[in-house]
């Protein structure tokens, strides 16, 4: 019998913001120092909740020059107000100038995607600082009209099967804005004890007769992810200043 997980509370109306920063060569340590020493605290000062901060583990995904982090806001309007106040904060202006005295840190404009919980997402658990886990950020893109079917499969089968095979759920989200995938994208974050544990968990999951049956039934009218390239997996490790490790 599969373990049933409670959905995220209906009262949790927060919006989440997934942000990706790419630095100029050699500048990631400067960016991390700025977040560690200043930025995270300034975010909290201006009403933003720090959920977690990670860097990719593999070179192909940006290891050495990329920071990925997740914030929570009370609403989109609250996010807009918080970012405005953060940008105008004299301390931030001073910190930014000092950190870039020897050159600009970011190579490009940060990517920001606003998200809300999928209705089948477990509630976001309190931050855990084990310091040993690896995280996996997974993004699925569906053919037109298939996102609801993918959600059904996660809601009725996949989430419970992930638990069965030792994966820890952080959260499941869909983008809010149409131009960022509101109608065809699912983004979720898992935690594993290690890369090896992740491989073992997914091998067991894919061989599970319940998964094979659910996948076959859900795809009788075609695949639920775009082929090829409809599924992206990025392994991450938490930064030393992330509360969620």
Closest C-alpha to 230, from 197, 181, 192: 181
Residuewise pLDDT in 10s, the chain (245 residues): 333 344 444 557 899 999 999 999 999 999 999 999 999 999 999 999 999 999 999 999 999 999 999 999 999 999 999 999 999 999 999 999 999 999 999 999 999 999 999 999 999 888 877 778 999 999 999 999 999 999 999 999 999 999 999 999 999 999 999 999 999 999 999 999 999 999 999 999 999 999 999 999 999 999 999 988 899 999 999 999 999 99
Q: Could you count the other beta carbons within 10 Å of the beta carbon of residue 163?
A: 16
Alpha-carbon 156 to chain mean position: 22
CA dist., res. 39 & res. 43, Å (int) = 6
Q: State pLDDT tens for residues 149-197.
A: 999 999 999 999 999 999 999 999 999 999 999 999 999 999 999 999 9
* Cα–Cα distance measured from residue 48 to residue 58, given in angstroms and rounded to the nearest whole number: 29
H helix runs in the chain, sequence order? 28-34, 40-45, 76-88, 90-99, 147-153, 159-164, 195-207, 209-218
Nearest Cα to 144, choosing from 227, 218, 224, 214? 224
Return d(Cα 39, Cα 7) in angstroms, integer: 32
What burial letters (b/e) apply to 3-14, b meaning 16+ CB within 10 Å?
Answer: eeeebbeeeeeb
**What's the CA gap between 96 and 101, in Å, rounded?**
9
The CA distance from 245 to 237, in Å, is: 8
Residues in contact with 174: Cβ distance below 8 Å, sequence separation at least 6, in sequence order: 115, 116, 118, 147, 181, 182, 185, 186, 187
Give the chain's domains with CATH numbers: 15-115 (3.30.70.100), 127-238 (3.30.70.100)
Give the single-character DSSP code of 148.
Answer: H
């Amino acid at each position: 019998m599969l373990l049933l997980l409670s959905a995220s509370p209906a009262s949790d109306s927060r919006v989440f913001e997934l942000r990706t920063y790419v630095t100029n060569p050699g500048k990631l340590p400067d960016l991390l120092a700025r977040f560690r020493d200043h930025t995270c605290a300034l975010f909290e000062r201006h009403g933003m909740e720090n959920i977690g901060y990670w860097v990719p583990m593999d070179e192909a995904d940006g290891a050495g020059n990329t920071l990925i982090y997740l914030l929570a806001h009370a609403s989109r309007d609250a996010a807009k107000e918080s970012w405005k106040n953060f940008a105008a904060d004299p301390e931030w202006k001073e910190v930014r100038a000092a950190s870039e005295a020897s050159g600009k840190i970011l190579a490009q404009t940060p990517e920001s995607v606003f998200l809300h919980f999928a209705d089948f997402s477990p509630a976001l658990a309190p931050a855990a600082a084990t310091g040993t886990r690896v995280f996996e950020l997974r993004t699925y893109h569906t053919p037109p009209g298939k996102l609801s079917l993918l959600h059904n499969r996660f809601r009725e089968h996949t989430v419970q099967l992930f638990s069965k095979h030792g994966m820890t759920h952080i959260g499941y989200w869909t983008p809010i804005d149409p131009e960022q995938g509101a109608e065809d994208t699912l983004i979720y974050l898992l935690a594993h004890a290690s890369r090896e544990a992740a491989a073992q968990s997914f091998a067991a999951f894919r061989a599970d007769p319940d998964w094979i049956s659910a996948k076959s039934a859900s795809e009788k009218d075609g695949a639920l992810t775009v082929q090829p390239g409809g599924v992206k997996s990025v392994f991450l490790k938490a930064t030393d200043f992330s509360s969620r490790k």
